[in-house]
Amino acid sequence: MASHQRSPAIKGAKVLMVGAGGIGCELLKTLALSGFEDIHIIDMDTIEVSNLNRQFLFRQSHVGQSKAKVARDAVLRFRPHISITSYHANVKDPDFNVDFFKQFNVVLNGLDNLDARRHVNRLCLASDVPLVESGTTGFLGQVTVHVKGKTECYECQPKPTPKTYPVCTITSTPSKFVHCIVWAKDLLFAKLFGDKNQENDLNARSSNAASSSQQAEDVFERQNDEGIDEYAKRIYDHVFGYNIGVALSNEETWKNRNRPKPLYSRDVFPEEPSQQNGNMDKNCATDDPLSVSAMASLGLKNPQDIWSLLENSRIFLEALKLFFGKREKEIGNLSFDKDDQLAVEFVTAAANIRAASFGIPLHSLFEAKGIAGNIVHAVATTNAVIAGLIVIEAIKVLQRDANNYRMTYCLEHPSRKMLLMPVEPFEPNKSCYVCSETPLLLEVNTHRSKLRDFVEKIVKAKLGMNCPLIMHGPALLYEVGDDLDKDMAANYAANLEKVLSELPSPVTGGTMLTVEDLQQEFTCNINIKHREEFDEEKEPDGMLLSGWTQAPRVEKDDNKTVGNGGSSTSNASSAMPVEAEEDDDIEFVPTGKKRKVGEISKATNPNLSDVADDDVLVMLDGENLDINKKKKLQ
């Protein structure tokens, strides 16, 4: 494709970029160097030190500043004649509505979370603007093209929900280090430093404290006359000693499991913990609470070292004392943050002590931080490759070259001697509830579940709506918005606390609800099926949403070489897509049955060919944390 042929399409294009991180920096640079002259970029984040190893438009002096604005200024220094408009804002803000999106010729995503991706997908559908989606994780990456009515939308294929673990496994029978991390982060850290009124399953392990005069719920409370050393030692003995001793009392649990060993401070420390205090003065030089460090106090420097049980125990006590000594005002409002050094140290130490008790191998702080923060460490080269592919596809979209659209997957290991695997895009999924408006099915106990449960667990968490409106026939059950008068707002707030079957227009089995998001201009119909009981472990929401499936696969019988812009082989088309998010959980997408654009009318008797045995696509399951696991294409 000669440069003079594509210049008019490029120069006259108005492009919206969403995200100015690892992919975004590379993408903005590539767009500017490719001749694009009107670029708008949205990003709500500020620059962090951890970004500097790959987000090359940023420098140390930029830490704390807007990513979108700094990226704009950096590119304008070597392309001063072009127009770049930056927005330090959330793409889900009301200002970025359908009318805003309609002004662009193409939207390019470089996002790091599923919720924002779904939101942009719906706005692109509503505004009829093509979307080029992307993602990277480590050496893996992908670029996909989504054009309304021609290719599948971003939500045509199901996205997996985050991995969850049964509470009983986390609190009583951990068998993997990730179980210990979840316990330390979501239970212990939250109990000690988070909202005291929030329910926490650690209470279950405190209920047998009959020998203590204090109530079970006060076990984690520091008493008025209690010194910090005494308190830290008491917490250590309670969670690693007493609680595990209580768990051991249930003989049935340990018939086929290795029994854990209760750990008490008197057994771990050769002398009193108070005599092994770190040097808190080493943390006095910083005004940044996120930089306070137990490692610095104790003289530990390498985050990739695996600490001994004694070192973990010292870090645990020191971190707890630093929280109460240096950050006491924050206690009660803290939540775990992977960029909070002291929080990471505390969670790492607590997880390792628990792991030692249950005979699970210990991990370094570097490894524990990756698990706790759901981090797959980014590779700058992958971001650069993916950014280049985004621009290639954007040019094809602008030229309306639909026959040459490609979804391209960047692999870690060669498949057929290729690291980049282009695949022809797929037809819209006729059972997609977003672009094909197929009704969904919700199984729910309409006599127990409240409208609030439906709004929070289904409408917002599952369907990704931000400003929902819920109707049963002509009856409006719920609406949000600044323009509501007080009486209406109060009425809808009251409806939230009512069970579904007792709403003004009762919702029972056989009911169809219409849910709409006015900002996204997205509407979905949900059929209600009453169900009495749910498995608390497998279905913790107390409701089950279903009703959309992957489209059947139809493939061509050809054996042409795979190339970006040429035809794909049928084998390549069955490659399992990788849904990836930079610096975030990789979404592990099961192999789907899909249809290629333009093949439906041609393939009356398609030949289905198998993938060769040596066609191995490296997949990363971010939840089992086995980054080297290979899965063969089926």
pLDDT tens track for 444-474: 999 999 999 999 999 988 888 888 999 998 8
Q: Identify the CA nearest to 410 among candidates 401, 399, 418, 402.
A: 418
Would you state the pLDDT for residue 362? Answer: 96
Would you state the pLDDT for residue 253? Answer: 81
Would you state the pLDDT for residue 161? Answer: 63
Neighbouring CB atoms inside 10 A of 161's CB total 10
When mean pLDDT is compared across 39-48, 309-318, 421-430, 537-546, the lowest value belongs to 537-546
Would you state the pLDDT for residue 76? Answer: 97
DSSP alpha helices (H): ranges in 42-162? 67-76, 98-102, 114-127
Would you state the pLDDT for residue 312? Answer: 95
Would you state the pLDDT for residue 282? Answer: 52
Is the model's pLDDT at 624 over the cut of 80? no
Q: Are 111 and 38 in contact, with CB atoms under 8 Å apart?
A: no
| Residue given tokens 């960047």 in the structure block | 410
Q: Are 496 and 451 in contact, with CB atoms under 8 Å apart?
A: yes
d(CA 233, CA 228): 9
Mean pLDDT of 333-361: 93
Q: Are 562 and 421 in contact, with CB atoms under 8 Å apart?
A: yes
* Residue 485: band (very low, low, confident or very high) from pLDDT cuts 50, 70, 90: confident
The residue that leads in pLDDT, 619 or 490, is 490
Mean pLDDT of 504-528: 91
Q: Are 343 and 334 in contact, with CB atoms under 8 Å apart?
A: yes
The residue that leads in pLDDT, 486 or 566, is 486
d(CA 49, CA 63): 6
Is the model's pLDDT at 623 over the cut of 60? no
Is the model's pLDDT at 168 over the cut of 90? no
Is the model's pLDDT at 605 over the cut of 50? no
Would you state the pLDDT for residue 278? Answer: 54
Specify whether 168 is catalytic. Answer: yes
The residue that leads in pLDDT, 628 or 440, is 440
Name the amino acid, one letter, at 236: Y
Mean pLDDT of 427-437: 88
- The listed range with the strongest mean pLDDT (284-298, 318-332, 390-404) is 390-404
CATH number of 440-547: 3.10.290.20
Of how many residues is the chain composed?
Answer: 634
Would you state the pLDDT for residue 201? Answer: 64
Q: What are the boundaries of each domain within the chain?
A: 2-161+377-423, 177-359, 440-547
* Residue 283: band (very low, low, confident or very high) from pLDDT cuts 50, 70, 90: low
Q: For 365-412, write each residue's pLDDT tens digit.
A: 999 998 888 767 778 999 999 999 999 999 999 999 999 999 999 998
Alpha carbon 365 to its chain centroid, in Å, reads 21
* Residue 601: band (very low, low, confident or very high) from pLDDT cuts 50, 70, 90: very low
Is the model's pLDDT at 634 over the cut of 90? no
DSSP-derived letter for residue 538 is T
* Residue 552: band (very low, low, confident or very high) from pLDDT cuts 50, 70, 90: very low
CATH fold group of domain 2-161+377-423: Rossmann fold (3.40.50)
Would you state the pLDDT for residue 288? Answer: 60
CB-based contacts of 243: which residues, under 8 Å, 6+ apart?
A: 202, 205, 206
The residue that leads in pLDDT, 590 or 464, is 464
CA separation, residue 46 to residues 63, 70, 71 (Å): 7, 9, 11
The residue that leads in pLDDT, 561 or 197, is 197
The residue that leads in pLDDT, 625 or 319, is 319
Would you state the pLDDT for residue 561? Answer: 36
Q: Are 452 and 426 in contact, with CB atoms under 8 Å apart?
A: no
DSSP-derived letter for residue 554 is B
d(CA 418, CA 408): 11
Is the model's pLDDT at 131 over the cut of 70? yes
* Residue 328: band (very low, low, confident or very high) from pLDDT cuts 50, 70, 90: confident
Q: For 188-231, write each residue's pLDDT tens digit.
A: 999 899 887 766 666 544 444 444 434 444 678 888 888 899 99
Task: Look at domain 177-359 and name its CATH class.
Answer: mainly alpha
Q: Identify the CA nearest to 581 among candidates 93, 159, 281.
A: 159
Would you state the pLDDT for residue 215? Answer: 44
* Residue 287: band (very low, low, confident or very high) from pLDDT cuts 50, 70, 90: low
The residue that leads in pLDDT, 107 or 166, is 107
Mean pLDDT of 595-621: 33
- Averaged confidence pLDDT in the chain: 80
Active-site residue (options: 153, 168, 284, 435): 168
Q: What percentage of the chain exceeds 70 in pLDDT?
A: 78
Mean pLDDT of 500-525: 91
Would you state the pLDDT for residue 606? Answer: 32
Q: For 258-281, write each residue's pLDDT tens digit.
A: 899 999 999 898 765 544 555 555
Would you state the pLDDT for residue 216? Answer: 45
Alpha carbon 613 to its chain centroid, in Å, reads 32
Is the model's pLDDT at 182 over the cut of 60? yes
The residue that leads in pLDDT, 171 or 603, is 171
Would you state the pLDDT for residue 3? Answer: 46
Mean pLDDT of 537-566: 57
CA separation, residue 97 to residues 102, 123, 436 (Å): 9, 7, 21
